[in-house]
């Protein structure tokens, strides 16, 4: 891949995790996998910071965790979005949307075109 | 999950964390193997990707928010170990704090018992008490007449309900006359006349039976029903569950019991436990005049009310005054100038005269607070000294990466541990202390509720104070300690030479502060002791050692005026004939006791009434013939009252020497003169002059006093005075008195029996309490300050061992060394004394009348306290100095 891997802007990791978890109960390793696949490798989560993030979100009541049998047959910790988490996801996603639109608008300004 | 639940489940969550991370590694490894890595390489890659497992775990723990708690536990464990390792230091610190916190808690409990404890009713802070007054009297608040109360209740728009109550007393029996076994007949029970809505307003329900119906409180004397207080029910009726419906006799009249109140309920006043409640319509039965319901000038009721939701006290006060104004217009004779004042029940407790109790309490709290400051300074001093010896440990912890904040937290945790231990000790001291204060109260002839035992409110405050002191004395030393110069410490220079001066200065400042406060507290103590000494030396103007006094009130049994006069007259005659009795008489209230009456304004014959609010009043007693003889209070001029000075005879009066001096110049010129009280009282002729005495307190400036003859001013509630022939005869005379009273009317209760010097107890109460507490506080402050000074001097000497050794080696004499060290300490002490004297000077100025008759700048006290402190401080400096001077130069030089 020609593109260099991007660093995640501050605070985005939580948003991405919430989004992935919103698709259905999922365990930590699968979250890491999914993020990497969907972003086609552009976004690579340092795995070491994934778990603290998950625990933080759980602590804030945005996620709940449950132990359940995984695809390998062993028990894994599955994360689910709470209602509070869902609300948080919506506001954060909307915020992110506005921000990126604004940023791309600014970037598209032609030189000297700014009035 | 709460943090504490999480803490309890810490092992479980640790286990789960481990499991979760393992699962991750396992899956990752599996995927990598699928991608073609060898199993070994795959495992290595997976671990690399995840990062060090311990770091990840630590980050997860941080994320879960239990981190601070784990640290706290660690700090606590470490703190306990450290404190246990230095039992001497710990014991001194805990003792100092325990004493400081203990005296404060005891004081707070006492003040709490008097002032702060809410009345045990529903929402006590919303119980509103209206006071009736007149616009011309600024601070005088009185009672409501029943008719005025009813109009206020029915016409106001701001109260959801307004009830009225009135204190009464009665003897109780199981039949119309006194039976054997009716021991309560010998005392008086206190109760209340209450309106039917009273229990609703108080918001307390009976535990047995019911309260009063409207019907029962609508027709005078028609419904003799009674609700019993819990203690009476327990004591007299053995908690009889079937009491409701039974008949009891109050003042010989049958009443049907309809209910029993819960144990917590005291009645309307926080200081007096009531034994029974009857409908207000039974007022006449308890000695109220027949016209009590209609006479608007006959004010015997107090009122309590609850405001409608959203109404403020100011709005309600304006509303009641509106009603009051219309009542003033309708009934100008009785209600002219009406003004009504509203407060909450708690705020109304110490209106005008009794305010001094409140100020005394606050003063005691302030002084005990000072003792706590001295204790804190002491512990801070110890902590500072210890911080120096711990500099090495702290330096190493800093060097291996502990943050400064972490070190400070550790040290503050240790001081919090100390202060909590101190708080625990303080609690025990306070508990014993309050029992001691309680025990020092003289017998009070009422079922007074004096409960100083620390309650939940006090506990809460004490805990807060303990924690606060922990932070205060812990934080400053901790900040100092954590600023340790790393390099110097690790190199082995004990505290870093540059730091030593500053620490010593801080410790010196603490010593100065301690001495200053000690001086202030000791001077307070000294003044109070002087004041007690003065009280004990003061001649009250009468001899109490052979007196028996007891209160009697034939009004309780609804005697009319002629019957009352007959009863007392006969009683006095009969008693005088008994063996062991020297003389007998009656007075309405004993001098130097609780209650008093003031009469006036005084108008000399031929003069006109002074304008309102002007004119002189004088305290007054109503006495029977033989009063002056039985009190051994000589008449300096003229004659005593006789039985012939009765309602038909010309009005006569006896005044004291001060009264004669103030109004007529001399006793001689006062004799035979006539005066009256304003508003048309008949003129009274002065027939005798009594020797001056003390009337309200032992400290008062000489007051004027008036004695009125009983048979011209009869009243029902009187105190019987029997003068025994000897002190040994006192117990026998008490029995004689009781027997003679029962002889005349077996239903008649007596109460408030006092023997000999018990009659003076009330007068000595305030100075005794003040001197006792002052001395306790003063000695504590002195001891704590001395320990502080001593420890600072010991520390200074130990720091200067080397220097001293060199000086000695160079030929300095022992005497020089002693002077050097002692003068260093005494300099601090002298600064403290000067500051303390200035502080005490300012404080005593503010205290004013609380000082109970001793000059504010009593030179004996100021000088004595200074000398005492200098002497004690000298010893505290001299011992370390001796030690320094005995240093062997050789040893000293090898010191480090």
Mean predicted confidence (pLDDT) in B714-726: 90
- Measured between beta carbons, the chain A residues lying within 8 angstroms of B49 are 47
**Token pair listed for B360:** 């005394």
A36-45, B620-629, B797-806: lowest mean pLDDT where? Answer: A36-45
Q: What is the pLDDT of residue B655?
A: 94
Distance CA B354, CA B458 (A): 23
- As a whole number, mean pLDDT of residues B54-71 equals 73
Does residue B489 carry a pLDDT above 70? no
Pairing state between β B705-709 and B144-145: unpaired
Q: Which residues contact B127 (CB under 8 A, 6 or more apart)?
A: B119, B121, B201, B202, B304, B305, B306, B344, B345
Measured between beta carbons, the chain B residues lying within 8 angstroms of A75 are 19, 23
**φ/ψ (deg, to 5) at A70:** -100, 180
Are B884 and B825 in contact by the 8 Å Cβ rule? The answer is no
pLDDT value at B497 more than 50: no
Angle among Cα A49, A52, A57 to the nearest 5 degrees reads 120
Q: Over range B549-578, report the average pLDDT.
A: 88
C-beta atoms surrounding B728 within 10 Å: 10
CA-based nearest residue to B224, from B235, B212, B234, B236: B212
DSSP state of B850: G
Instruction: List the single best residue of B61, B63, B64 to mutate versus A (max A Cβ within 10 A).
Output: B63
Nearest by CB to residue A29, choosing from B27, B59, B63, is B27
Q: Taking residues B114-133, what's their average pLDDT?
A: 85
pLDDT at A60 over 70: yes
Residue B642: predicted pLDDT: 92
**Among chain B residues, CA nearest to A77:** B20
Q: Strand, helix or coil at B513?
A: helix
The torsion angle over the Cα atoms of residues B198, B199, B201 and B205, rounded to 10 degrees, is 180
pLDDT for residue A113 is more than 50: no
Please tell me if residue B20 touches chain A, with a CB cutoff of 8 Å.
Answer: yes
Give the Cα separation of B48 and B56 in Å (integer).
12
- State whether A48 and B56 contact (CB < 8 Å): yes
| pLDDT value of residue B24 | 87
Mean pLDDT check: name the lowest of B131-145, B723-737, B770-784. B131-145
Nearest to B893, CA basis, from B805, B807, B796:
B805
The mean pLDDT value for B401-426 works out to 83
Distance between CA B591 and CA B760 in Å, rounded? Answer: 9
CA-wise closest residue to B875 among B813, B832, B822: B822
Mutate to test the interface with A, among B27, B50, B52 (most CBs of A within 10 A): B27
Q: Is B21 an interface residue toward A (CB < 8 Å)?
A: yes
Q: Is the pLDDT of residue B128 over 60?
A: yes
The complex's ipTM works out to: 0.86
- Whether the CB-CB separation of B623 and B709 falls below 8 Å is answered with yes
The pLDDT of B81-110, averaged and rounded, is 85
| CA–CA separation, B201 and B235 (whole Å) | 27
Q: Residue B20 and residue A27: Cα distance in Å, rounded?
A: 9
**Number of H-type helices and E-type strands within chain B:** 27, 24
Whether B20 sits inside 8 A of A51 (CB atoms) is yes
Residue B353: per-residue pLDDT:
53
Please report, for chain A, how many H helices and E strands are present, in that order: 4, 3
- pLDDT at position B495 is 44
First-to-last C-alpha distance (Å) of chain B: 56
Which of A55, A74, A75 is the closest to B63 by Cβ? A55
Residue B854 pLDDT level (bands cut at 50, 70, 90): low
Q: What are phi and psi of B623, to 5 degrees?
A: -130, 155
Q: Render pLDDT for B194-223 as a digit per residue (tens, 0 to 9).
A: 999 999 999 999 999 999 999 999 999 899
What value does the mean pLDDT take over residues A3-28?
Answer: 77
> Would you state the pLDDT for residue B316?
93
What residues in A contact B62, CB-CB < 8 Å? 52
Residue predicted with more confidence, B794 or B662: B662
Render pLDDT for B246-300 as a digit per residue (tens, 0 to 9).
998 887 788 999 999 999 898 888 878 899 999 999 998 887 878 889 888 888 8
Contact A29 B24 (CB under 8 A): yes
Q: Please report where in the chains the tokens 């003065």 appear, as a residue.
A: B534
| pLDDT band (50, 70, 90) for residue B413 | confident
Task: Name which of A28, A56, A74 is nearest B63 (Cβ-Cβ).
Answer: A56
pLDDT at B191: 92
> Cβ(B481)–Cβ(B386) under 8 Å?
no
CA distances from B860 to B429, B516, B530 (A): 32, 18, 9
Query: Is the model's pLDDT at B488 over the cut of 80?
Result: no
pLDDT at B445: 63
Asked if B47 has any chain A CB less than 8 Å from its own CB, the reply is: no
Instruction: Check B50 against A47: CB less than 8 A apart.
Output: yes
What mean pLDDT comes out for the span B78-104? 85
d(CA B840, CA B368): 15
Pairwise pLDDT comparison (B442 vs B48), residue with the higher score:
B48
B14 touching chain A per CB within 8 A: no
How far apart CA B760 and CA B766 sit, in angstroms, is 12
Report yes or no: B232 and B239 within 8 Å, Cβ to Cβ. Answer: no
Chain A residues within 8 A of B64 when measuring between CB atoms:
55-56, 58-59
Evaluate the omega torsion of the peptide bond into residue B861 and state whether it is cis, within 30 degrees of 0.
no
A6 at B interface, C-beta within 8 A: no
Most confident of B131-140, B342-351, B513-522, B792-801: B513-522
Higher per-residue pLDDT: A44 or B120: B120
Q: Are strands B276-279 and B189-194 parallel, antiparallel or unpaired?
A: parallel
Q: What is the pLDDT of residue B595?
A: 67
Residue B528, classified by CB atoms within 10 Å of its CB into exposed (0-12), middle (13-18) or buried (19+), is buried
Contacts with A72 from chain B: Cβ below 8 Å: 26-27, 30
First to last CA, chain A: 39
Asked if B233 and B239 count as a contact pair (C-beta separation under 8 A), the reply is yes
Lowest mean pLDDT among B101-110, B140-149, B500-509, B775-784: B500-509
Using the Cα atoms of residue A57, residue A63, residue A68 and residue A72 in order, give the sign of their dihedral.
Answer: negative
Report the 10 Å Cβ neighbour count for B67: 12
Coil, strand or helix: which one is B246? coil
Q: Residue B772 pLDDT more than 80?
A: yes
Residue A17 confidence (pLDDT) above 60: yes
Mutant choice from B50, B57, B65, B67 vs A, greatest count of A C-beta within 10 A: B50
In chain A, which residues have their Cβ closer than 8 Å to the Cβ of B52? 48
Most confidently modeled range among A29-33, A35-39, B1-5, B812-816: A29-33
A-B Cβ pairs (cutoff 8 Å, strict): 59
B126–A contact, CB cutoff 8 A: no
Which one of A37, A52, A69 would you mutate to disrupt binding with B, by most B Cβ within 10 Å of its Cβ? A52
To the nearest whole Å, the CA of A58 is away from the closest chain B CA by 8
Looking at residue B504, its pLDDT comes to 57
Listing DSSP states for B303-361 in one string gives: EEEEEPTT--HHHHHHHHHHHHHHHHHH-HHHHTTEEEEEEETTTTTT-GGGHHHHHHH
Residue B94 has pLDDT above 70, yes or no: yes
- Is the CB of B65 inside 8 Å of chain A's CB atoms? yes
Kindly state the tokens that stand for B874: 């000298």
What is the average per-residue pLDDT within B345-357? 68
Peptide bond into A83 cis (omega under 30): no
- What does the pLDDT read at residue B9? 58
- The stretch A84-104 carries a mean pLDDT of 89
User: Which of A13-22, B79-88, B479-488 has the weakest average pLDDT?
Assistant: B479-488
Rounded to the nearest integer, the mean pLDDT of chain B is: 83
Task: Say how far apart CA B619 and CA B705 lie, in whole Å.
Answer: 5
Q: What share of chain A is helix, strand, coil (3-state, %, to 5)?
A: 55, 15, 30
pLDDT tens figures, B682-696: 899 999 999 999 888
Alpha-carbon span B368 to B107, nearest angstrom: 7
On whether any CB of chain B is under 8 Å from the CB of A47, the answer is yes
Which residues are CB-neighbours of B859 under 8 A, at least 6 positions away? none
Lowest mean pLDDT among B10-19, B133-142, B322-331, B792-801: B133-142
Map B146-194 to HEC letters: HHHHHHHHHHCCCEEEEEEEEEEEECEECCCCCCCCCHHHHCCEEEEEE
CB nearest to A52's CB, from B26, B30, B60: B60
B605 touches chain A (CB under 8 A): no
**Three-point CA angle B182, B187, B191, nearest 5°:** 105
Considering chain B, what percentage of its residues have pLDDT values greater than 90? Answer: 25
State both tokens at B683: 């003129």
């Amino acid at each position: 891949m020609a593109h260099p891997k991007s660093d995640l802007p501050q605070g985005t990791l939580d948003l991405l995790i919430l989004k992935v978890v919103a698709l259905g109960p999922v365990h930590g390793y699968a979250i890491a996998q999914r993020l990497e696949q969907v972003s086609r490798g552009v976004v690579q989560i340092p795995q070491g910071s994934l778990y603290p993030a998950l625990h933080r979100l759980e602590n804030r009541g945005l996620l709940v965790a449950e132990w359940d049998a995984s695809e390998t047959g062993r028990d894994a910790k599955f994360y689910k979005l709470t209602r509070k988490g869902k609300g948080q996801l919506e506001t954060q996603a909307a915020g992110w949307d506005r921000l990126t639109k604004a940023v791309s608008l600014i970037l598209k300004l032609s030189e000297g075109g700014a009035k | 999950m709460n943090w504490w639940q999480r803490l309890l489940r810490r092992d479980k969550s640790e286990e789960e964390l481990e499991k979760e991370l393992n699962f991750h590694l396992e899956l990752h490894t599996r995927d990598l193997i699928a991608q073609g890595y060898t199993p070994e390489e795959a495992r290595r890659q997976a671990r690399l990707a995840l990062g060090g497992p311990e770091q990840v775990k630590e980050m997860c723990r941080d994320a879960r928010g239990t981190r601070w708690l784990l640290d706290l536990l660690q700090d606590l464990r470490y703190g306990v170990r450290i404190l246990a390792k230095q039992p001497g230091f710990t014991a001194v610190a805990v003792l100092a704090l325990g004493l400081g916190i203990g005296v404060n808690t005891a004081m707070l409990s006492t003040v709490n018992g008097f002032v702060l404890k809410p009345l045990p009713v529903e929402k006590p802070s919303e119980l509103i008490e209206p006071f009736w007054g007149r616009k011309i009297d600024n601070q005088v608040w009185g009672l409501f007449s029943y008719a005025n109360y009813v109009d206020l209740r029915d016409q106001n728009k701001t109260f959801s309900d307004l009830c009225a109550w009135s204190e009464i007393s009665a003897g109780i029996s199981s039949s119309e006359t006194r039976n054997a076994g009716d021991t309560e007949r010998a005392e008086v029970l206190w109760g209340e006349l209450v309106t039917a809505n009273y229990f609703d307003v108080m918001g307390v329900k009976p535990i047995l039976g019911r309260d009063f119906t409207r019907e029962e409180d609508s027709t005078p004397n028609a419904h003799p029903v009674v609700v019993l207080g819990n203690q009476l029910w327990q004591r007299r009726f053995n908690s009889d569950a079937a009491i409701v419906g039974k008949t009891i006799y109050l003042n010989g009249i049958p009443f049907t019991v309809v209910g029993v109140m819960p144990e917590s309920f005291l009645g309307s006043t926080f200081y007096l436990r009531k034994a029974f409640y009857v409908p207000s319509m039974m007022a006449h039965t308890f000695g109220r005049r027949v016209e009590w319901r209609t006479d608007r000038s006959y004010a015997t009721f107090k009122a309590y009310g609850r405001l409608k939701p959203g109404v403020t006290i100011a709005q309600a006060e304006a509303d009641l005054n509106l009603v009051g104004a219309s009542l003033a217009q309708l009934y100008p004779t009785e209600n002219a100038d009406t003004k009504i004042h509203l407060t909450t029940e708690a705020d109304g407790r110490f209106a005008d005269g009794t305010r001094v109790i409140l100020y005394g309490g606050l003063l005691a709290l302030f002084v005990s607070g000072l003792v706590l400051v001295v204790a804190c300074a002491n512990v801070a001093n110890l902590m500072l000294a210890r911080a120096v010896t711990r500099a090495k440990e702290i330096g190493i912890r800093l060097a291996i990466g502990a943050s400064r904040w972490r070190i400070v937290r550790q040290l503050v945790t240790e001081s919090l541990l100390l202060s909590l231990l101190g708080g625990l000790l303080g609690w025990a001291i306070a508990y014993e202390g309050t029992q001691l204060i309680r025990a020092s109260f003289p017998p009070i002839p009422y079922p007074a509720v004096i409960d100083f035992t620390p309650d939940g409110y006090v506990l809460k405050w004490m805990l807060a104070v303990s924690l606060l002191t922990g932070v205060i004395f812990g934080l400053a030393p901790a900040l100092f300690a954590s600023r340790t110069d790393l390099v110097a410490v690790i190199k082995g220079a004990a505290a870093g030479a540059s730091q030593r001066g500053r620490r010593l200065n801080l410790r010196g400042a603490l010593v100065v502060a301690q001495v200053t406060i000690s001086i202030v507290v000791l001077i307070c103590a000294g003044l109070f002791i002087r004041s007690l000494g003065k009280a004990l030396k003061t001649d009250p103007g009468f001899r109490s050692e052979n007196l028996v006094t007891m209160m009697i009130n034939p009004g309780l049994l609804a005697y009319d005026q002629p019957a009352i006069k007959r009863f007392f007259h006969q009683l006095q005659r009969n008693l005088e004939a008994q063996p062991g009795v020297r003389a007998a008489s009656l007075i309405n209230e004993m001098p130097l006791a609780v209650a008093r009456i003031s009469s006036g304004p005084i108008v000399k014959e031929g003069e006109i009434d002074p304008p309102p609010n002007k004119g002189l009043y004088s305290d007054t007693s109503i006495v029977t013939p033989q009063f002056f003889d039985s009190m051994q209070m000589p008449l300096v001029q003229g004659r005593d009252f006789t039985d012939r000075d009765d309602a038909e005879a010309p009005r006569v009066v006896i005044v004291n020497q001060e009264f004669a001096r103030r109004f007529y110049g001399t006793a001689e010129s006062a004799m035979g003169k006539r005066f009256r009280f304003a508003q048309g009282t008949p003129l009274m002729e002065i027939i005798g002059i009594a020797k001056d005495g003390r009337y309200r307190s032992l400290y008062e400036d000489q007051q004027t006093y008036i004695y009125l003859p009983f048979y011209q001013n009869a009243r029902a509630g009187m105190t019987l005075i029997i003068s025994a022939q000897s002190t040994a005869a006192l117990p026998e005379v008490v029995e004689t008195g009781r027997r003679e009273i029962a002889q005349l009317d077996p239903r008649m209760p007596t109460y408030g029996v006092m023997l000999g010097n018990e009659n003076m107890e009330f007068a000595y109460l305030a100075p005794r309490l003040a001197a006792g507490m002052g001395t306790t506080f003063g000695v504590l402050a002195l001891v704590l300050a001395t320990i502080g000074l001593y420890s600072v001097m010991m520390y200074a000497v130990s720091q200067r061992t080397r220097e001293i050794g060199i000086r000695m080696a160079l030929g300095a004499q022992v005497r020089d060394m002693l002077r050097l060290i002692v003068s260093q300490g005494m300099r601090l002490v002298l600064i403290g004394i000067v500051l303390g004297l200035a502080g005490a000077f300012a404080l005593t100025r503010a205290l004013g009348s609380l000082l109970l008759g001793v000059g504010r700048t009593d030179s004996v006290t100021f000088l004595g306290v200074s000398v005492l402190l200098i002497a004690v401080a000298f010893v505290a400096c001299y011992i370390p100095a001796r030690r320094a001077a005995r240093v062997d130069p050789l040893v000293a030089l090898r010191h480090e």
